[in-house]
Amino acid sequence: MSIIQHKKGRPSRAERIQIRKDLEPYYEQKVPAYKAAEITGYDTKTVNKYYEEFYREIYGHETKNFVERFEKERIRYAILLDNLIHESYEMLEDVKTSVQKLKDKGEIVPSYLIQNHSKIIQTISHLGEKRASLLMHPDAGDMADEEIEKRVGRYV
């Protein structure tokens, strides 16, 4: 949250820099604007304004090149899935450690730990399938080339 306090009107340069620093992590984590506003205490309109600014900075120069934009979005989503898979593996290790500690003590493993273990494995499998499917599909350039060939082939 911002250290600088401001009442009304346009924020000073220092305040704008601080707002930007406060909101950037939420934008990067894809936290909805209304939720970021709730967490940070900024007005929803302010958060939306900065989110739009972040979006324009990242994607603004790419708006005309659909193929490039599609490929970057696909790669970004694959990276997101990689991060979720990694997080799931960390949780799986935590569950395995808890189970092992209980076994070492000679205690019964609670069913919730076994269920969590199974759910995490299912989640990892599901995320892995999604990632593989995403990366195995042809990219937008290939799809556009195929469509052009089909259409040109009809008229030749």
142: CB partners within 8 A, 6+ apart: none
CA-nearest of 6, 5, 2 to 18 is 2
Q: What is the pLDDT of residue 2?
A: 47
CA distance 143 to 138: 7
CA distance 85 to 91: 10
CA-nearest of 24, 84, 19, 11 to 58 is 24
Tell me: the pLDDT tens digits for 19-43?
999 998 898 888 888 889 999 999 8
Tell me: the pLDDT tens digits for 81-111?
998 999 999 999 999 999 999 999 999 999 9
Residue 51, SS3 per DSSP? helix
